Structure 1
């Protein structure tokens, strides 16, 4: 039945409006003459009804009073109806003025016009409101409706409430509002009472409330505390997208979704020095390696905001790189972006890149980063993470790059796996290369003998940025947990005590740009990662946010630490300390210096072993160069025992 009413033709609404307006005029005559029909000039009434019909046909057609869907009647529809009534009655009023100037009798009494206007408006609005509430009543008859509480009694909350009222597919009924404003407590909106958030537990006592929809902008701390309160009472938490993403300024119920764990792990927006970054990048050529990856692609998006001359998107992965190029084209990015297919391990291909584009800035995000995978393929980790970095660093010096910003990881600190150790080796190489510039009479060898004096004198500034896990990145634990929950479980956690630091991708990339702009060369910048998160708590919260119960609906299993994995990540080496910068979220690690000639020779030997796929010899050499590299839960722990025995002898 409801579907049939939904498709009522507009001409029926038009006829209803016309009938109501004619009834209103007749009723105005009766009111004017105290319902005494003998005082009414029936010929005049008949004539005016015909005239009023013609006028209203034209006015209603022009203003389109019939166009709105009645059960969605809003204030906008009321204004449209009021406007049409004023126009139609004004025509009579103007006609009366003309009659007076011609010493002729009035077409219709002005008192009748006033009564007609009021009655017509009231009747047209009333029948619409009655239809609207009839629909709501029929909808509310359903017994299986979800009882929803809206957090936020502002304009957004009201808009959400009215949207839910008219969307039968969601099958939700708003039973209460929550708002932090104590002055609103006890008041009502559309007959729905407003409570304080602290009263949610009392509201949920009967177990009828199923969902809470967040429609207010609250702090992250407040949001986390409130979500925890909801989960304790088995209430699902829904949220809305930002208002800028609403379709045509209206909430689309399909955009309402369960709150994501990422929204609860986010932190206060990080303010960066846009002027400083823009001053350095504007009009420059910027190379981003690993541009198709999660970090590299976000660096590209943010770099494009600072009006560079050209951004070179370098990656060996064809499809994701093409997708990024299409995304930038769709967003009508003003900056010229050039996709360049190339492997950082291919020296000749990278030489062509630098020779062709001569970049001023390099953001090096290309790397192998999956810990278990690299534990099984140490030679490949060396070839990409170490040799690839060395090739790019050497070419940066040769072609006079102003700044080389390397994206590193917290796993490079006291590494327990091949991936972390390979990134630490890359850090050591670029640091020692920069430090060699400060030495007098430097002899460039081991791949740097080709550097000309002019290129070397430009002293490319090498800067390293180090941070932990990023939310939503390729290989992140959160997407994996989501997939496992969607499959019905179980969720696999490696260890009950394992913790990790988390940062959003945009946040991490903003800090990379900020650190790169403030760096003077040779620094390792570390980022304030906030508090470490216990992965088991993260898993349980994700299950509850999905409306399920941990260990009942979704089982949690412990799979054991993966090869090379450690329980706690660190951001600083034991022999390092930090110094503050002008940005509270960025610190500088004071690191020990390495002799460039020694490191360069050792790394060259390591690369040779990697090229021959001699994995055990590769890992042994890595431990020689990075003594703090102690394998954990790995087959290479035997090497640590051998080294320990040799040292004891």
Structure 2
């Protein structure tokens, strides 16, 4: 025993001991019951109550112990792990003690009816029932609490002191998980609330501090971090909390509401630093889940670009509605594989299959459309990085235009019910090749809808920048901050409209159910965000100070980049729908024969990699396309001169 408790460093290894074997637990419980019998006897021996003499007191105790031991095995009260005892274990102990008393007293009454005398004192049995249960319960509580105390004490120096904001049921449940999960790198020091009726209140043995001054409350608790369920607060409330915490120099941690936790993930994976996405002051989106569920029931759905930021979120939202089959298409092998593993883990009942393919390959698409009987297509595959596409215009034509045309052709040929295309706000008065190529794809889709043989409903959705998407400004800033800076911003006045990935995809799916065919839906993007302010906020959320710990540098606008994005919710160019966040853009369509001929010409030119000719043709297809901060600005000059002469 000593060799197990002591090692060469002369430290007790109490926390590393294995679980007690079941026979030892039974033995301990029998010893505790024996002690309870002795205590009960000595309590009654000093009273005027006399024990029956049919059996001697030791013999009576042996009978009672035998009955009690039998019920240990009946209710398996020994099966629970002592250090992890639960309410179920307590119930088993109660049943064991009560059943022992009931059986002994029942036998006592039967013997009295036959022999006109009793073996056991009823008072003795009732006292024993209470005492034995108390001793066994106290033993389990003592072991559990001692183990928890020792575990927490062993790592207390390395644990971060956190305070939880709120005292409702979800936050208390979260606190219980933190207190009992000794492996977490946090120790709970208390709760924070603005409820003034909670003075001198404790929860789980931790103080509840009630104050309107959050910084003052944090100082009282000596907290190093605060934990909040951001889903429980409005955007304004979250921002006020964040400002108070940042001013107090306290880290902010975030955890989703318990019902939103991802399956197969424990609490350690749920608690994360607060992200800038969580601080958008936007009202929650309310979807008509019934319409979506009915619309997707029994359908086979294709999601192109399914491994990308938008596509993968559409797939995950589809998983909650459980269509018959979802085919996830992407040409990014690693991302597609990772998505497949994640879906298998988190959505085990979701029926899906991944397909590695390039949408610009018509032959590959034809085989796929023959293999699956698609009903709905969500087209999210696209090249989107403005500077990269500005240097490779022909690639934008291959994917953004030719890929869309291929999918449209297969949709019409196979009489697909609905085709929902994901577009961008950069298609509005485009200033770069990426935006212009997406606008050309929009025009093709819109014109195709007018053709007599078209039965497919072609629906286009537009929205602005998506927070946290691959290659967007948020991950870019995070990497720069992690590397110690500087954080680079292209212009001190540049602004953008932002939307979270789930928010954007919810609206895409909702718009898909609303469309009659040929519409371009635009989304309410809220208020624009100044990028330099976004950078400062992210630096402060990382526990650092802008310009002191992390510098911010202005690098100048990139090729094709606008200073201000076009407003998508301009009432002069959009029409309302029954959904307050979705509007229809009143953009006129062109003749299909015209856009088809020009598309074929630009695709042929793209195969020759003559980028200047590609951009020149793109400007013919999209007359409002005017390059900015780009080498292709010279292609606009003849048009400008012509306008001057007129």
Name the structure 2 match of 1:48.
Answer: 60
How big is each residue's C-alpha offset from its partner over 1:113-158, in whole Å with a ceiling of 9 and x where there is no partner? 1222222233333344445554566545956654321223344433
From the superposition, tell whether residues 567 and 15 of structure 1 become closer, same or farther in structure 2 (CA, over 3 Å). farther
2:198 counterpart of 1:158: no
Q: CA deviation at 1:582?
A: 0.8
Aligned positions of 1:165-204 closer than 5 A:
165-170=179-184, 172-179=186-193, 181-196=195-210, 198-204=212-218
| Contact kept in structure 2, 1:407 and 1:512, CA below 8 Å | yes
| Contact kept in structure 2, 1:179 and 1:197, CA below 8 Å | yes
Q: CA deviation at 1:111?
A: 0.9
Aligned positions of 1:394-543 closer than 5 A:
394-435=409-450, 437=451, 456-543=452-539
Other structure's SS at 2:557 match: coil
Name the structure 2 match of 1:9.
Answer: 20
In structure 2, distance between residues paired with 1:41 and 1:171: 61
Q: CA deviation at 1:640?
A: 3.4
From the superposition, tell whether residues 458 and 494 of structure 1 become closer, same or farther in structure 2 (CA, over 3 Å). closer
Q: CA deviation at 1:613?
A: 1.1
In structure 1, distance between residues paired with 2:358 and 2:263: 44
| Contact kept in structure 2, 1:575 and 1:591, CA below 8 Å | no
In structure 2, distance between residues paired with 1:615 and 1:482: 34
Aligned positions of 1:187-586 closer than 5 A:
187-196=201-210, 198-205=212-219, 208-214=222-228, 218-221=232-235, 222-244=237-259, 252-253=267-268, 255-265=270-280, 267-278=282-293, 280-303=295-318, 311-321=326-336, 324=339, 331-333=347-349, 337=352, 339-354=354-369, 357=372, 359-435=374-450, 437=451, 456-572=452-568, 577-586=573-582
Other structure's SS at 1:21 match: helix
| Contact kept in structure 1, 2:51 and 2:120, CA below 8 Å | no
Deviates more, 1:467-476 or 1:266-275: 266-275
Other structure's SS at 1:406 match: strand
2:118 counterpart of 1:102: no
In structure 2, distance between residues paired with 1:242 and 1:265: 18
How big is each residue's C-alpha offset from its partner over 1:380-404, in whole Å with a ceiling of 9 and x where there is no partner? 1122212222333344334444433
In structure 1, distance between residues paired with 2:386 and 2:66: 80
* Higher RCO (CA < 8 A, seq sep 6+): 1
In structure 2, distance between residues paired with 1:33 and 1:247: 60
How big is each residue's C-alpha offset from its partner over 1:195-252, in whole Å with a ceiling of 9 and x where there is no partner? 3463432222358211222258513323343233222222222233543577999964
Deviates more, 1:250-259 or 1:16-25: 250-259
Q: CA deviation at 1:515?
A: 1.6
In structure 2, distance between residues paired with 1:462 and 1:403: 6
| Contact kept in structure 2, 1:374 and 1:381, CA below 8 Å | yes
Other structure's SS at 1:234 match: coil
Other structure's SS at 1:271 match: coil
Q: CA deviation at 1:283?
A: 4.6
From the superposition, tell whether residues 76 and 484 of structure 1 become closer, same or farther in structure 2 (CA, over 3 Å). farther
Name the structure 1 match of 2:7.
Answer: none
Name the structure 1 match of 2:4.
Answer: none
In structure 1, distance between residues paired with 2:427 and 2:262: 45
Q: CA deviation at 1:580?
A: 0.6
Name the structure 2 match of 1:124.
Answer: 136
From the superposition, tell whether residues 334 and 411 of structure 1 become closer, same or farther in structure 2 (CA, over 3 Å). same
After TM superposition, the score normalised by the length of structure 2 is 0.85
| Contact kept in structure 2, 1:30 and 1:36, CA below 8 Å | no
| Contact kept in structure 2, 1:33 and 1:40, CA below 8 Å | no
After TM superposition, the score normalised by the length of structure 1 is 0.85
From the superposition, tell whether residues 144 and 326 of structure 1 become closer, same or farther in structure 2 (CA, over 3 Å). closer
In structure 1, distance between residues paired with 2:547 and 2:273: 20
Q: CA deviation at 1:24?
A: 1.6
Deviates more, 1:400-409 or 1:61-70: 61-70
Other structure's SS at 1:470 match: strand
In structure 2, distance between residues paired with 1:386 and 1:247: 37
From the superposition, tell whether residues 303 and 618 of structure 1 become closer, same or farther in structure 2 (CA, over 3 Å). same
In structure 1, distance between residues paired with 2:96 and 2:342: 47
In structure 1, distance between residues paired with 2:427 and 2:18: 64
| Contact kept in structure 2, 1:151 and 1:216, CA below 8 Å | no
Q: CA deviation at 1:527?
A: 1.0
In structure 2, distance between residues paired with 1:386 and 1:161: 52
Aligned residues: 629
Deviates more, 1:392-401 or 1:404-413: 392-401
Aligned positions of 1:27-66 closer than 5 A:
27-34=39-46, 44-66=56-78
How big is each residue's C-alpha offset from its partner over 1:25-67, in whole Å with a ceiling of 9 and x where there is no partner? 1111221132799989897222123223333333334444444
In structure 1, distance between residues paired with 2:580 and 2:267: 39
User: What 5-or-longer segments of structure 1 have no aligned partner?
Assistant: 438-455
Deviates more, 1:518-527 or 1:570-579: 570-579
Deviates more, 1:110-119 or 1:545-554: 545-554
